[in-house]
Structure 1
Amino acid sequence: MKKPVLCIVTPALADANNGNWQTARRWAQMLSGHYRVRLAQRWPDDDPAAVDTDILLALHARRSAASVAAWAQTHPGRPLVLVLTGTDLYRDIATDASAQRSLALAQRLIVLQDQGLLALPEALRGKARVVFQSSTPRRTLPKTTAQLRVLMVGHLREEKSPQTLWEAARLLRPDEGIRIDHIGDALDPALGEAARQCMRDCPHYRWLGGLAHARTRERIQRAHLLVHPSRMEGGAHVIMEAALSGTPVLASRIAGNVGMLGSDYGGYFPAGDAAALAALLRQGRNDIASGGAWLAALQAQCAARATRFEPAAERAALLSLLGELRHSP
């Protein structure tokens, strides 16, 4: 029997090196045993296989809105799945007509963490499913006790709130034994210049620019703490990668982060509160000098959540949802 053709529409392809691309690539690999999977930036595209597509799975309600509308017009009744990946869930669907139309046209909606359902209009929650993303586990590496090694992974753009990290770095003295590394491309040139200025002002802060995914994961393994100060987030890859590496997280208390780490997690700070973040970093530095009990407790909480981020669970959730659609009238 021929495998059905699944087209995954992602606004970002490999050159973007962002969460949407990582999601699309991983799902294509996971589903390839059951579907003939194509990746495209839009539907339809120039590939002749576009006309034979059986299922469309589109990432991002606003940025894939044209593909969603074209599919609904030309393939009425065929399965259409919309994945809400971040800014669309927590901003666009409240104000953008094209994003709202995508929600209405899709037969199923996917959110990437369990607080995501609450951001949807109540009438649409019945067709929504939670699919936690996954990654491969990494062994937990021994950490130095000479200093606290802190890492932020996030491109330089407003939604990631790198300003919170820079302000926290300025509140810390260079001699406090806290070293902050920051990985991410400068998607906003002004933020790139701000990162360079922070390096000039704060010798304990380094902006490393964009790094390959494998090198980034190695740095996550070596850090005592991953800092994730976003003000808007759909379900951050880097949080799950830290949890699967034995590296605890300090995260802004926003819905997208709480949906990943749980409401009772002990490593939150108020979004945008650099003083609170700096205080937690000092707590971490003092903790490694006195036995590491606090960091160990955060690590244990992350490890408990990491069971949700296993590839088998993600694959089973996707296959269940797609099977549901294929066998529904």
Structure 2
Amino acid sequence: MHITLITPAPRGSRAGNRATAERWAHLLRAAGHRPRIITEYDAEPTDLLVALHAWRSSESVRQYRAHAPTGPLIVALTGTDIYRFQQTHPEATRYSMTEADALIGLHERVADDIPKEFHNRLHTIFQSAQPLPRRQPPVQSRFDVVVIGHLRDEKDSLRAARAARELPAESRPNVIQLGRAHNEQWQALAEQEARENPRFDWKGELPRWQVRRHMAKARLMVISSVMEGGANVVSEACVAGLPVIASDIPGNVGLLGPDYPGYYPVEDTGALRRQLLRAEREPAFLEALRAGVDNRAPLFRPEAEQAALERVVNAVLHPYGKTDT
């Protein structure tokens, strides 16, 4: 079956939407489909259109509907769709959601934040991750904490660095930040933080294998976002057995579960600092975090994501009398 995936992120981009599109294409290909990835709808014949990002792909959805008024359509909702563009660009975002035969949410609390009229179309797919080859011995003189993702407002990217600034002198946390600055303002902020904060080490954008190497050696990961649609880096941490401290936003709670012990109030530097200290000083707390991510790891296996994706594809195509071939 020919399946077209639309993502606003071009080939070679390291944006999350592009990574999701490429992973889904791989999973669909493994299931016997013939997927292709494009950035704008081009009217090529397809059995199914999957649009990643309701707002940014809304023009492609319009073009698709003009070309194929009853064509099967799946729309995957991103964090900015759910937590920003529903409010700032409601017409375009709602149009894509209304036209979709199925909506995909990437964490289990998406239904709480979209209109009830869309609940019966909503399917949850947890993004999968490959396990690390092996955990590496941590640096004994430091308590390395990784923060992974491009530096931008949605990520509250320097929160962990700021929390580490005022730790007691004898504490060992060292924040390793991986990701490029989204703009000149973030570039300047990160450079200033690196100059002033001896506990902060900004590595910039690194190849994927180097990111995974840092994860393999770290003792902890912080995800400090103010909005997330379901960050794949959380999936990666869970599969890797890497403890996480996370802001208590729906996108994190919807991945780690409501009973996970490692949350802190979003944008609360002091609360994050206290969690970092607990993780360093209390082995039982760090072990509870590790047990929490281990418990969630089965949700993020590739076979689970493939099965969930196939269920959505089949649910959409069934009314059209098409088979999964």
Give the shorter-chain TM-score range: over 0.9
Q: Which amino acid aligns with 2:13?
A: A
1:255 paired residue number: 250
CA contact (8 A) 1:217 1:241 kept: no
Q: Which amino acid aligns with 1:84?
A: L
| 1:140-289 aligned within 5 A | 140-172=135-167, 175-287=170-282
Q: Which amino acid aligns with 1:306?
A: A
CA contact (8 A) 2:97 2:103 kept: yes
2:312 paired residue number: 321
Mean alpha-carbon deviation: is it higher for 248-257 or for 186-195? 186-195
Shift of residue 166, structure 1, vs aligned partner: 3.3
Q: Which amino acid aligns with 1:208?
A: K
Shift of residue 298, structure 1, vs aligned partner: 0.6
Out of 97, 105, 108, the position equivalent to 2:102 is: 108
CA contact (8 A) 1:174 1:202 kept: no
Partner Cα separation in structure 2 for residue 51 and residue 206 of structure 1:
47
Matched length: 317
2:5 paired residue number: 8
2:23 paired residue number: 26
Q: Cα distance 1:170–1:144, how it changes in 2: closer, same or farther (>3 A)?
A: closer
Q: Which amino acid aligns with 1:75?
A: A
CA contact (8 A) 1:221 1:246 kept: no
1:40 paired residue number: 38
**1:278-315: CA deviations, max 9, x gaps?**
1111222223xxxx221111101101001100100110
Q: For structure 1, which runs of at least 5 residues remain unmatched after alignment? A: 45-49
Mean alpha-carbon deviation: is it higher for 175-184 or for 103-112? 175-184
SS across alignment from 2:273: helix
1:57 paired residue number: 50
Q: Which amino acid aligns with 1:270?
A: P
Q: Which amino acid aligns with 2:98?
A: A
Q: Which amino acid aligns with 2:28?
A: L
1:295 aligns with 2:293: no
* Identity within the alignment, %: 37
1:87 paired residue number: 80
SS across alignment from 1:78: coil
Mean alpha-carbon deviation: is it higher for 88-97 or for 303-312? 88-97
Out of 125, 134, 158, the position equivalent to 1:131 is: 125
Q: Which amino acid aligns with 2:293?
A: C
**1:117-146: CA deviations, max 9, x gaps?**
221100111011001110112233343443
Give the TM-score normalised by the residue count of structure 2: 0.94
1:311 aligns with 2:305: no
CA contact (8 A) 2:161 2:199 kept: no
**1:180-226: CA deviations, max 9, x gaps?**
10001111211111111111111120111001112111111211110
Q: Which amino acid aligns with 1:268?
A: Y
Partner Cα separation in structure 1 for residue 168 and residue 203 of structure 2:
20
Partner Cα separation in structure 2 for residue 146 and residue 157 of structure 1:
30
Shift of residue 325, structure 1, vs aligned partner: 1.7
* RMSD of aligned Cα (Å): 1.4
Q: For structure 2, which runs of at least 5 residues remain unmatched after alignment? A: 321-325
**1:7-61: CA deviations, max 9, x gaps?**
10011134321211111111001101422111011101xxxxx422121000001
2:61 paired residue number: 68
Partner Cα separation in structure 1 for residue 68 and residue 243 of structure 2:
45
Shift of residue 108, structure 1, vs aligned partner: 0.5
2:92 paired residue number: 98
SS across alignment from 2:177: strand
Mean alpha-carbon deviation: is it higher for 171-180 or for 156-165? 171-180
**1:86-129: CA deviations, max 9, x gaps?**
10111112341111111111110000010112211001110110
Give the TM-score normalised by the residue count of structure 1: 0.93
Mean alpha-carbon deviation: is it higher for 135-144 or for 220-229? 135-144
